[in-house]
Amino acid sequence: MTKIVISGTGVYTPPNTITNDELVDSYNDYCNKFNAANADAIDRGEMTAKQHSSTAFIEKASGVKQRYMMNKSGATNPDVMATELSDLAGSDLSDPSVSSQMAVAAAKKAMDKAGVTPDEIDLLIFSSSIWERFVPSIAVEIQRDLGTKGYAFDMAMGCSSATFGMSTAMDSMLSGMANKALVITCEYITPAMNYTDRDSHFIFGDACVAMVLEREAESKAPVQFRIKTRELFTELSYNIAAMFGSRVLMEPHKIMDEDQRFMQNGRTVFKELLPLVIGMVQKHLDSNNYSVADMRRMWLHQANVNMNTFAVKKLTGTDQDQDTAPIILDEYANTAGAGCMIAFDKYHQDFKEGELGLICSFGASYSIGCMIVERV
Amino acid sequence: MTKIVISGTGVYTPPNTITNDELVDSYNDYCNKFNAANADAIDRGEMTAKQHSSTAFIEKASGVKQRYMMNKSGATNPDVMATELSDLAGSDLSDPSVSSQMAVAAAKKAMDKAGVTPDEIDLLIFSSSIWERFVPSIAVEIQRDLGTKGYAFDMAMGCSSATFGMSTAMDSMLSGMANKALVITCEYITPAMNYTDRDSHFIFGDACVAMVLEREAESKAPVQFRIKTRELFTELSYNIAAMFGSRVLMEPHKIMDEDQRFMQNGRTVFKELLPLVIGMVQKHLDSNNYSVADMRRMWLHQANVNMNTFAVKKLTGTDQDQDTAPIILDEYANTAGAGCMIAFDKYHQDFKEGELGLICSFGASYSIGCMIVERV
């Protein structure tokens, strides 16, 4: 059986850091303005006053301390409260999308680490939660800008976009349709954030991660992780949702409505999704004759530190630490599909030959993706 | 080597027919109103008067005689000139998307023909040009509504969405990740049409096609087509494009702009894309030791009758006819990724065991997908 390895990863981190304090300042200013503008209605009990947020609340609720954004001007302006265009955004259709530029930067790092050149890649998958543009394909734009060969396409599976993308690329490599693949999870996702919602205005950050997949027998990469097992699962939930899509072309007056942007019922997600994740990881380990103790590390989805500490405790019986299950969401916030692979990118160099780790994404749709990898 | 068959297909055809005459009437009314409202500027030479369209022009330019739409009220109203919401559209996020409902109808027909039940399907791919919603996944919504198992995800490759979707599903079946797959190309695409553009207001129609893929050794379907070969290709072009995507969340005032909707440089596409398609088909046949004469039929992409007649003449030396290369775009218009498989769905029952056919999609991004299939 042909063995497939992750032979290189790369992360593109946007240029702008935005702290909780900055975000809370603009949110609270927005609340003050809203409450002042609606003071009479609030006094008459016809409207509810908007409640201030705080850095302490955000950190307790999520563990997020800051995030990166392609542009932070709108997010820090109480009169805008929306992500504004990046400086990288062109004005013409034929200017590369911002996502393509983020992807190219991440992909170059991943290919450098793998020691592969663009002309060796014959499959490129852009697998990301939400897309800057539908047509032409962003994957094909990246293909043009990198100079990769073969074919490319776009896919999406919310917070499991990277794991689903890698598994799909691996299938195409195993079938013989592709030889070397580049999978890119570009989460340019803050444009879909609702900055006026106290429960969610802090959750996302922009980032892009790229992975090179090769046949083990062919790879010359100094650091390789063999994909030993994988399992994908989906089951519908509307508890993480954004209505945005072509429907808004039929209701253009709704483009600024709250439901076009991300909302989540965080507590329900916690209650419903975590048992599914823990059950699936345990079953996946069992059915492959592993125990959790065989895993040197878990690179978990990075949405909320409380989910990760809960999952680690349930799975291992011990407390989460950076060695067992590294957290990167304190710095990056929730980067949707990219999170687990950003964690992998930053925490894998210390692995010794034969050591095993578990990649596990979980989130919107719902979706779960599990992979056991082994340092070659 | 495991052999994969297409064991069932199904088409959902929207309830509303709209003829060229109807579309031309509303377009010409719109022109009259536009020209009257801007008469002074037109007289002063500061604006160009809008030119009327005609049924004769549309038929000559494209071969399209009518199309189906989920809702035709806006398209026939010169004061609206946009697709309006379907009656199937709910008001809440938790109401199934219109696309899901179209997909379920097509998928049931495909599963009936294949003789498979939803619980036998363990991979569902929604592969469509443009999506009604990003999160949660439309594929997972269809999975819930049909009751299929395993996992599901969304992908896109413009006019090659069905061929790329089937090839990707086949990869996952060959690798062992999936056993039976359902691929759905739901082109609810008229919302992205620009009804005020004389060159493109007539090109699209809504439709959905579904395909069941099974292992040949397992399939009990009365009619099966083995996928013998396949090849996918992409190369960037902006000549078929729509800016629509999450970028508009950062420029909400642009939601009604023309560049959010489909535009195409038809002549350039004809000149650039057709030689690529013809070259790829010839090379694909050659490298698999076939000649075009071995193909009983070609199910080509359905964008424009002139492209198909040109391709058929170049490839076979003879004129296109319904037996050699059936046209369905006269009835359905351009249904983007669905076209070639709608043609397949309607024109395959007469195949005898051992007869071969070629499926070939081509269009936006650019993308080309070729498959040689054999009646089992």
Among chain B residues, CA nearest to A125: B155
Mean pLDDT, to the nearest integer, of A249-278?
95
Mean pLDDT, to the nearest integer, of A50-74?
97
Interface test with A, best of B187, B206, B250, B362 (most A CBs within 10 A): B250
Give CA–CA dist A354/A375, Å, rounded: 5
Residue type, B71: N
Q: Tell me if chain A has a CB within 8 Å of the CB of B96.
A: no
Instruction: Give me the numbers of helices (H) and strands (E) for chain B, helices first please.
Output: 10, 13
pLDDT at A155: 98
Tokens of B297: 């039929």
> What are the backbone angles phi and psi of residue B335, rounded to the nearest 5°?
-105, 30
Half-sphere exposure of residue A289, counting CA atoms within 13 Å on the CB side?
Answer: 1
Within 40-69 of B, beta carbons closer than 8 Å to A belong to none
> What are the backbone angles phi and psi of residue A123, rounded to the nearest 5°?
-145, 130
Q: Which residues of A touch B171 (CB under 8 A)?
A: 168, 171-172, 174-175, 177
Q: Do A131 and B246 touch (CB under 8 A)?
A: yes
Instruction: Indicate if the pLDDT at residue A270 is higher than 90.
Output: yes
Residue written as token pair 């929306």 = A82
For residue A374, CA distances in Å to A165, A220, A229, A340, B279 come to 19, 16, 10, 16, 43
> What are the backbone angles phi and psi of residue B222, rounded to the nearest 5°?
-65, -30
Q: Tell me if chain A has a CB within 8 Å of the CB of B287.
A: no
Among chain A residues, CA nearest to B97: A247
Q: Tell me if chain A has a CB within 8 Å of the CB of B255.
A: yes
B130 in Cβ contact with B186 (< 8 Å): no
Give the distance from CA B311 to its chain's centroid.
18
Chain A nearest-CA distance from B69, in A, is 13
In order, the DSSP letters of B230-267 are: EEEEE---SSEEB--SGGGGT-GGGTTSGGGS-EE-HH
Q: Do B143 and A246 touch (CB under 8 A)?
A: no
Q: Tell me if chain B has a CB within 8 Å of the CB of A185.
A: no
Interface test with A, best of B134, B164, B170, B284 (most A CBs within 10 A): B134
Q: Tell me if chain A has a CB within 8 Å of the CB of B1.
A: no
Which has the closest alpha carbon to B236: A216, A301, A138? A138
Q: Which residues of A touch B248 (CB under 8 A)?
A: 255
Half-sphere exposure of residue B215, counting CA atoms within 13 Å on the CB side?
Answer: 16
Tell me which residues of chain B have a pLDDT lower than 70. none
Nearest CB to A174; choose among B93, B175, B234: B175
Residues in CB range of B287: below 8 A, 6 or more apart? none
Give CA–CA dist A376/A64, Å, rounded: 33
Nearest CB to B246; choose among A132, A170, A256: A132
Within 162-181 of B, beta carbons closer than 8 Å to A belong to 164, 167-168, 170-172, 174-175, 177
Q: How confident is the model at residue A92 (pLDDT cuts 50, 70, 90)?
A: confident
The catalytic site residues of B sit at 159
pLDDT at B92: 85
Q: Which residues sit opposite B123 in a β-bridge?
A: B151, B181
Q: Do A177 and B144 touch (CB under 8 A)?
A: no
pLDDT at B1: 79
Q: Do B191 and A246 touch (CB under 8 A)?
A: yes
Q: How confident is the model at residue A262 (pLDDT cuts 50, 70, 90)?
A: very high
